[in-house]
A and B are shown apart, each in its own frame.
Chain A
C-alpha cells in the first residue's frame, strides 16, 4: 500500500519561509485533506511531493524512499491551474501526458479512449481541446491525471468549475480510488467537501502545520475552544410554529433554507434548548443539532494570531 510521509520539511523562497517544519503521513486507502488559506504553502508542499521542488531541509518520503523524479510515474497530479494544449486533439494530449508518465506502446490511445468513454466524452476524443466546454476540459484533465493508473493521486480543487452531476462523478471516482487502496491527497477550500470526503486532514497556515488528524478528532478538540473564543455556543436548526428568538439563551437567528439556524449561548446545550422551547409552547416540526462546521474551525485557526498549536 502506498505511503507518503512528509518529515520536518522546510522550504524558503528568497528568505521567506513557505513551508516551516511540516510533518504528516498519508496511507493508501484514505482520502487526505490538505487545507490552508491561500498562500499558506500548500502548493509548495505539493510541488515538493512531486520533486518539482526540493525541501531545504527535512524529507519527503514515498513508500519509505526519499522522493526523486523516479517517482513521477507513480503520481497523478491535477493542478489547481488547469492546463491542456488547446490546439491539439483531446486524444493526442492524453497520449502525450500518458507517455510522459511512462506509459508505452500502442495502447496508450486505446486506454485514453476508454477513459474518455467512461466520463462520457468518448465522441470528443478527436476534437480539439478548445472546442470543449470548461467543464469538459476539466474532465479531460482528470482523465489525464489518472490515465497511467498512479498509486499517489494529488487533486488540487478538483470540483471547481464542475456542475453537480460531474461533481458527483468525481466524488465517485475518488471513492473508487480509495477502495483500490490508492493514496489520495485532496487540496480544497470547500470545507463541506472536506467533511464529506476526507478521512484525515492537515491544515497549513503561514507555512506551519496548525491542524492534523481525523475530522472527528479535530472537531471534538476544537469545538469547545471555538465556543469559548467566540462567546457563542452550539448551533441548532429548527422549524415550527412560534418565536424561537424568545427562548432564553438564543443569541441570534438566521434563515437556513425553509428552517432557521439558531446560535445558542455557550452554556446552553441543544437538549436544554429543546426542553425550553417546548416549555415555551412552541410547536417544533424539525430539530437538528448542527455540529461545529469544519469551516468555522478553519476560519478560527487561520484568524488566530500565531495559529493554533497542533
Chain B
C-alpha cells in the first residue's frame, strides 16, 4: 500500500502547486512583503530627506567645559561584548538598506563631535552639511543644564535627534574629566551591567540573559509561526480537496482503489511537501537577510533538527485531526468550521508563552509537554530555552509519534465512513461508533 500513498501524495502535491491560489501565495507573498518594506523604506527615506548622515555634530562651548578627543565616535551606549555579533550583523544589513539603513547604521556607530568657535561658523558648517547638527552649550550651562540644539531637519529621524544621547555621554565625560579619577568615568556612564542569576533545572544558580534567550528562542519561535501557517494553509487546501471529492462523489472510486489510511496519509504528505516547497521558495527569496539574522541568532543544528521533528509530527497530527473532523461536514463550509477547531488548539500554548519561558521546567510546562496537542509548540519553546532534559525530548517525541499513528488509524475509519455518508450530519455517538467500526 506504500506505493499508493505515494501516488496520492504526488497527485496532491502537483495539483496543489498548480493551483492559482498557491502560486499567488508563494510568489505573491514575498512580492507583497517586498512592496510593503519598500513603502516603509520610502516613507522613512523621505523622512530623512535623502541627506546622507554626516555622522558629525558641531559643538559651540560657551561654558568652557566640553572636552573632545578628535576623531572619537560616541555611540548611544556601550554595546555589551556578547551582543557585538548581532549588532555587527545588523550594521552590515543596514548598509544595504538605503537611506533608512544608513540612518540606522549611523545610530549604531555613533556621532563624532567637532568643536566650533561660535554659532556663526557652526551654522555655516551645518548649511554646508559638514555636520548634521549643532549644539550650543551656554555660559550658565553648569547652573541650568540647558543646551541649545540646531537641527537641519524637522524629521523624526534627524541627526540632531539621533546625536542627543551621544551628546549626553560627551557631557558626562567632559564634566568628569580631570575631576573624577579616570577609572570611575566608565562606571558613571555604565553604573550597572547586571548578570541576572536564577535557578536552572538542577537547582543550580545560572546566568540568564535576555539577549541569550531571545537568540536561542529565535529558531523555535520561527518554527512555531511556520507551523501555524502551514497547518492553516494545508488544512484549507486539504478540506477544499476532500469536500470536492465528497461532493463530486469521486471518493467512492478512490476508496475502491486505495484504503482510507493510505489516502489520508498520502494527502497529508503531498500537501506537506507543497507547504515545504512554498517555505523553501520564501526562504530562498529572502535568503540574504535570513542568513545574516541566523548568524546573529544561535543557529544550533541540533535545535533545528529537533524543531523540524516536532514540526513534522505536529503537522501530521493536526492535519489528520483537521481532515478527519472536517470530513464529517457535508460541505466545504461545514468542513472548514469543524477543522478550524483544531487550528485554535494548536495555537493555544502561545497563551502560556510567558509561563513556559519563565519556568521552562515548571509543572505547567511539563504537563503541556506531555499532552500531544500542545506538546510540539511547548517543547520547541522549552528546547529554545536550552533547559529541556534530553529524556523529556525523547519521551515527548515518542508520545507524539505514537499519537500520530493511533490518530491516523482512527481518523482513517472516521474519514472513510464520513466520506461515504452523503448529506447526513452524524451525532456524536455515531461518530464514536464510526471510529470503532472496521
Contact = CB atoms under 8 A, between A and B. Distances in A.
Interface in B413-431: 416, 420, 422, 430
B249 A82 contact: yes
Nearest to A79: B252
Nearest to A96: B11
17 contacts: A14-B430, A52-B256, A52-B420, A69-B259, A72-B256, A72-B258, A75-B256, A77-B252, A77-B256, A79-B249, A81-B422, A96-B7, A96-B11, A100-B254, A100-B257, A100-B258, A141-B253
A82 B422 CA distance: 13
Contact of B438 (A54, A100, A101): A54
A29 B363 CA distance: 69
Nearest to A46: B256
A83 B259 contact: no
Contacts of B438: 54
B222 to A, nearest CB: 35
A99 B430 contact: no
A86 B244 CA distance: 9
B252 A83 contact: yes
A54 to B, nearest CB: 5
Interface string A77-108: 10101111110100000001101111000000
B248 interface: yes
Interface string B228-248: 000000000000000011001
A239 B251 CA distance: 52
A237 B248 CA distance: 45
A119 to B, nearest CB: 18
B255 interface: yes
Contacts of A86: 248
Contacts of B249: 79, 81-83
Interface in B3-44: 3-4, 7-8, 11, 15
A88 B15 CA distance: 9
A146 interface: no
Nearest to A76: B256
A74 to B, nearest CB: 11
B168 interface: no
Given A81-B249, A84-B250, A50 B7 contact: no
B248 A72 contact: no
Interface residues on B, range: 20 to 34
Given A77-B253, A79-B249, 19 more contacts: A47-B420, A50-B255, A52-B256, A52-B416, A52-B420, A69-B1, A69-B259, A72-B257, A72-B259, A82-B249, A83-B248, A83-B249, A85-B244, A86-B248, A88-B15, A97-B257, A99-B7, A100-B7, A100-B8
A102 B7 CA distance: 10
Interface in A50-78: 50-52, 54, 69, 72-73, 75, 77
A207 interface: no
B422 to A, nearest CB: 8
Given A47-B420, A69-B1, A83 B430 contact: no
A47 B417 CA distance: 11
Q: Which residue among B15, B248, B251, B438 has the maximum number of chain A CB atoms within 10 Å of its CB?
A: B248
Interface residues of A, number: 27
A50 B420 CA distance: 13
Contacts of A14: 430, 433
A144 interface: yes
B251 A83 contact: yes
B253 A52 contact: no
Interface of B: 1, 3-4, 7-8, 11, 15, 244-245, 248-259, 416, 420, 422, 430, 433, 438
A195 B289 CA distance: 75
Given A52-B416, A54-B438, A85 B7 contact: no
A100 B259 CA distance: 10
Contacts of A144: 253
Nearest 7 A-B pairs (CB), nearest first?
A83-B249, A83-B250, A100-B257, A81-B249, A79-B252, A77-B256, A83-B248
Nearest to B419: A52
Contacts of A82: 249
Nearest to B8: A100
Contacts of A54: 438
A14 B416 CA distance: 16
Contacts of B259: 51, 69, 72
B23 to A, nearest CB: 15
Nearest to B258: A100
A244 B244 CA distance: 59
Contacts of A77: 252-253, 256
A82 B253 CA distance: 9
A120 B428 CA distance: 49
Interface centre among B8, B252, B253, B422 (most CB of A within 10 A): B253
Contacts of B1: 69
Contacts of A85: 244-245, 248, 250
A50 B11 contact: no
Given A52-B416, A69-B1, A84 B248 contact: yes
Contacts of B258: 69, 72, 100
A29 B299 CA distance: 67
Contact of B4 (A47, A79, A83, A100): A100
A84 B254 CA distance: 10
A100 B252 CA distance: 13
Contacts of B253: 77, 79, 83, 97, 141, 144
Interface string A19-59: 00000000000000000000000000001001110100000
A79 B257 CA distance: 12
Contacts of A50: 255-256
Nearest to B257: A100
Contacts of B11: 96
Contacts of A102: 3
A16 to B, nearest CB: 11
A120 B5 CA distance: 33
Contacts of B254: 100
A50 B250 CA distance: 15
Greatest chain B CB density within 10 A among A51, A52, A82, A100 is at A100
A72 B4 CA distance: 11
A307 B259 CA distance: 35
A101 B433 contact: no
